Structure 1
Amino acid sequence: MTTKLMMAPAWSAGCNSKPPLGRVGKELYEIADQELRENETARRECLAHLRDWIGRNPDLQNCITDDNFLLRFLRVKKFSLAMAEQTLLKYLNFRKKFKHIMFDLDYTDTKISELIDSGYIFVSPFRDCNGRRVVIYDSSKFDIQKFDGTDMSRAHAITYETLMDDEENQILGVSHVGDVSAVGPSFIGLFSITEFAYLIRWGEQSFPMRHKDIHVVNIPTALKYVYDFARSLMSQKLKERLVVHDSLKQLHQKVSARCLPSEFGGDMPAAEMIRLWKAELEAKRPRLLTFDQMSLLSDRGIVRRSKPPAEDVTGSGSLPGSFRRLELD
């Protein structure tokens, strides 16, 4: 089911009666039913069960239990209670393990604000043809001399948390468009190989976000090893949604230029999109800061899965060797 491009968040305009999901519209409710197995009964019963489980779980402290927060975990796992519980535990564990990234998610922090203002990462005010918000990334705006890997990761975390606090985005998912033409060997030093691996693999498993499309433009030849390594850490589902384009013209065949900034071939300048996005960040800022009250006292309830690969699975030699070769190219 597709919709016309629109300014976010205007989905519910024209709905004749108040839908079960509050401000979101009837059409969105139907998508939730078809794609996520969500209906009024499932929502009511699963929310009640999840709250009861949280209340009885001694490892969870001050966990947020309002509908909006819990539904992100139920929706991303299509209302499988067992999987939603595991994702919530993994999410809180991810926040705990990467506290320097996931705590104090304040977009007004000097470095984060500067990264957003520069145009490194922001969200288009226009939805794509499927009604999804589009996250824009421009590697040329990331000054390697001023920012580090923590700054980069925090900017991403604030963006994603802000998006996931909106029910439309929880249901429809999010699209990504990134121009990485400016990424060079110096970017490799932003993360250790181990941290890079954990951030990608744990991030996908732990963060309750539906990544529907990932469009990457202009990957430098020298980054092939990093791309292959990063892709090897993704689930098969995410790999299938990752599309590489050689040019903006090629990108426009898959993503309407109207939801992109003028710098990417669209109509609205990035600066105006950023101004509108910062208004959304400001509205969600108090909410995000309350997340720091939550904590996971023990990770014993998490079902362990296979660890990130300790050896290369890209076919290009050992991981350290691949990165060393990249640094020399």
Structure 2
Amino acid sequence: MGVSGGSPTSRFECTRRLSAADSQCIWNAIAEIGARVGDRFTSNVPLFNCFGDHKMAVRGLVSARPWVADDGQEGGGGDGGIMMVAGYPSLREAVIAVAKKELREDRVSREQALQLMKEWLQKSQDIKNGRLDDAFILRFLRVKKFSVPLAQQTILKYLHFRNIYSHYCRQLDYLEPPVYELLKSGYLFALPQRDKLGRRVIFANAGKLDPYKYHNTDMAKAHLVTYETLLEDEDNQVLGFNHVTDLKGVCAAQMTLWSPSELGAIIKLGEQAVPMRHKEIHFLNVPPAFRMVYDFCKTLFSEKMRNRFYLHSSLEELHQSVDPKILPKEYGGTIPMSEMIDMWMKEVSRKRDALLSLDRMESQKVMHSYKPRTTTPKASNGITSLPGSFRRLEVD
């Protein structure tokens, strides 16, 4: 993460005073510090003091050079790499400004709200083993703009969602074979670089989902593993998410993985319960015959979300909204998709324990029962899962 410390000119001048050997030595030390403080660098990190006269040079290096993850890949360290965010000198400044302007978050409001939330979680009779770490609680406060009562309601909805859809939400292990295969195929992954507003971009290749091989449980878990991994990063909680979905290769059989009522219920509750700030949702290569399905699915979201949907008829049109430089090479960028997927798999791996620990939380109160589908919907010429015209829908 970038660190402010003087003007850009002074930072680079300070950096240039170091020899290549000194720079590499300091950078190795920074990497060690990064592992200890969670890849976060701020001007008040005490460990910076150990660099003595080179303190400003170290800050210059951190600001000027992309973060190198522990796997050696630049820009894949879980925060999407260091980049210039439109209107701000660094990602750090962008996060602080957006948090204050859009979420009413500052040091005082954050500390007060965290204290109230932790006391409530500890005293609540409805929640058992609730996570008390700041990063978990803040995701709910931020999505509700630091309204403590609304954040409390959202946590209860989140646990309720995990209860009634436990077959989707529990054991979010990316190493589970079907989930691993979907993620590794590129069905769903986060781009390593952020967009111009600092948001992580979630990229989906809908055609990679084989409806004859995978269950709706596999599909749901791939999405939830992705979302929960990204929510572990506080910058993502503040800046929100951009989505790009390529519908090339989709088929009618994919829609048979869900019944309309089931899809409607999970989208409605999921939108209210999963604390994500979805800012833009872009669709590319929507087949004409699939527009009816697209229109139906869009109605399942709130009006606020529907207003953030964008259809693009060409890659060039998508590039007008999403910087092609951050997209996979196959979509006009510079980094091949296979490399992006590998970087994403390593990022998910680093959050595996945190995701599995979510299962320790329990809600003692279930609002209503839900009977999960126990068999995989039939995906063949005799499609039976969707009624009416969906049943006969074919996509070129």
TM-based fold match above 0.5: yes
> 1:18-53: CA deviations, max 9, x gaps?
39xxx9824311221111000111111111111111
Distance 1:108 1:16 in 2: 34
Higher relative contact order (CA 8 A, sep 6+): 1
Maintained 8 Å contact 1:89/1:299: no
1:190 equivalent in alignment to 2:257: yes
Q: What is the RMSD computed on CA atoms of the aligned residues?
A: 2.1
Structure 2 partner of 1:18? 44
Structure 2 partner of 1:244? 311
1:50 equivalent in alignment to 2:76: no
1:96 equivalent in alignment to 2:193: no
Which of the residues 236, 239, 253 maps onto 2:320?
Answer: 253
Deviation at 1:245, TM superposition (A): 0.6
Distance 1:195 1:13 in 2: 48
After TM superposition, where is structure 1 displaced by more than 4 Å over at least 4 residues in a row?
11-16
Distance 1:175 1:203 in 2: 17
Deviation at 1:56, TM superposition (A): 2.0
Maintained 8 Å contact 1:216/1:244: yes
Q: Secondary structure at the match of 2:305?
A: helix
Which of the residues 108, 111, 123 maps onto 2:178?
Answer: 111
1:79 equivalent in alignment to 2:146: yes
Which of the residues 132, 137, 153 maps onto 1:65?
Answer: 132
> 1:122-171: CA deviations, max 9, x gaps?
11101101011111101222222221211111000000000001000000
The aligned amino acid for 1:29 is: I
Distance 1:299 1:172 in 2: 32
Cα separation, partners in 2 of 1:322 and 1:147, compared to 1, 3 Å: same
> 1:223-273: CA deviations, max 9, x gaps?
222212211111111111110111111101110111111122211111100
Structure of greater Rg: 2
Q: Normalising by the residue count of structure 2, what TM-score does the alignment of the two structures yield? A: 0.72
Deviation at 1:16, TM superposition (A): 6.4
Cα separation, partners in 2 of 1:230 and 1:11, compared to 1, 3 Å: farther
Q: Secondary structure at the match of 1:175?
A: strand
Q: Normalising by the residue count of structure 1, what TM-score does the alignment of the two structures yield? A: 0.86
1:234 equivalent in alignment to 2:311: no
Maintained 8 Å contact 2:290/2:395: no
Maintained 8 Å contact 2:193/2:200: yes
Structure 2 partner of 1:311? none
Unpaired stretches in structure 2, ≥5 consecutive residues: 6-40, 46-78, 80-90, 368-385
Q: Secondary structure at the match of 1:190?
A: coil
Unpaired stretches in structure 1, ≥5 consecutive residues: 1-9, 301-318
Distance 1:278 1:12 in 2: 27
The aligned amino acid for 1:17 is: S
Alignment of 1:198-209 (within 5 A): 198-209=265-276
Kindly tell me the number of residue pairs found equivalent between the two proteins.
Answer: 300
142-151 or 238-247: bigger deviation? 142-151
Structure 1 partner of 2:206? 139
Which of the residues 241, 248, 256 maps onto 1:181?
Answer: 248
Distance 1:231 1:77 in 2: 23
Maintained 8 Å contact 1:139/1:183: yes
The aligned amino acid for 1:207 is: V
